[in-house]
């Protein structure tokens, strides 16, 4: 069965999309640990990020680099932190999280936010403008 991220990529489930190319897709995390928290997802579905073909894997990080540059310009932060977890959704993805302090990259469930839809749209638009 297709993962929830494949369903997002195929347009079957809505998302706050940031960018897409032939191979990769980026959208806002629905429960961000910080505002602007973005997921970068390979269109080929594999559970574990290190199982991809090396070239395709390298392309994922190249795509993520562009998204992170746009996030950094668009949002108030010192830098963009990276995490690869994958314990919840078995479709590999990179978390890109705007950071100001070390503790900002904390995935404890109690730290996750639910923002109003209008704010998610506004954040996505800000990031997209910087791409
Ligand atoms: P993990 O698999 O542990 O890296 O975490 C999966 C991440 O995907 C979590 O941060 C969730 O908030 C996020 N997530 C799950 N479902 C959706 C969705 N439908 N849209 C956006 N983000 C999602």
pLDDT at res. 57 = 98
For 118, the token pair is 């209008």
For 50, the token pair is 């290190």
Q: Which of 16, 17, 31 to mutate to test the pocket of ligand 1 (most atoms within 8 A of CB)?
A: 31
Torsion sign over Cα 64, 66, 70, 76:
positive
pLDDT at res. 106 = 92
Which pTM was predicted?
0.98
pLDDT digits (tens, 9 = 90+) for 100-112: 998 999 999 888 9
Structural domains for the chain: 4-129 (3.30.428.10)
> What parts of the chain have a pLDDT lower than 50?
none
Contact status, residue 96 vs residue 82, Cβ threshold 8 Å: yes
Task: Judge whether 95 counts as a catalytic residue.
Answer: no
pLDDT at res. 109 = 86
Establish how many alpha carbons lie within 13 A of residue 77's alpha carbon, considering only the half-sphere containing its beta carbon.
25
pLDDT at res. 1 = 87
């Amino acid at each position: 069965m297709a993962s929830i991220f494949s369903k997002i990529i195929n347009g079957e489930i809505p998302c706050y999309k940031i960018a897409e190319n032939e191979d990769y897709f980026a959208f806002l995390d629905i429960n961000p640990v910080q505002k602007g928290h973005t997921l970068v997802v390979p269109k080929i579905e594999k559970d574990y990020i290190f199982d991809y073909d090396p070239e395709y894997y390298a392309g994922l990080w190249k795509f993520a680099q562009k998204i992170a540059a746009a996030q950094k310009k668009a949002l108030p932060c010192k830098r963009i932190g990276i995490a690869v977890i994958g314990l919840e959704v078995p479709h590999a993805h990179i978390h890109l999280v705007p950071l100001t302090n070390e503790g900002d990259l904390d995935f404890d469930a109690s730290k996750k936010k639910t923002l109003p839809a209008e704010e998610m749209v506004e954040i996505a638009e800000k990031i997209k403008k910087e791409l």
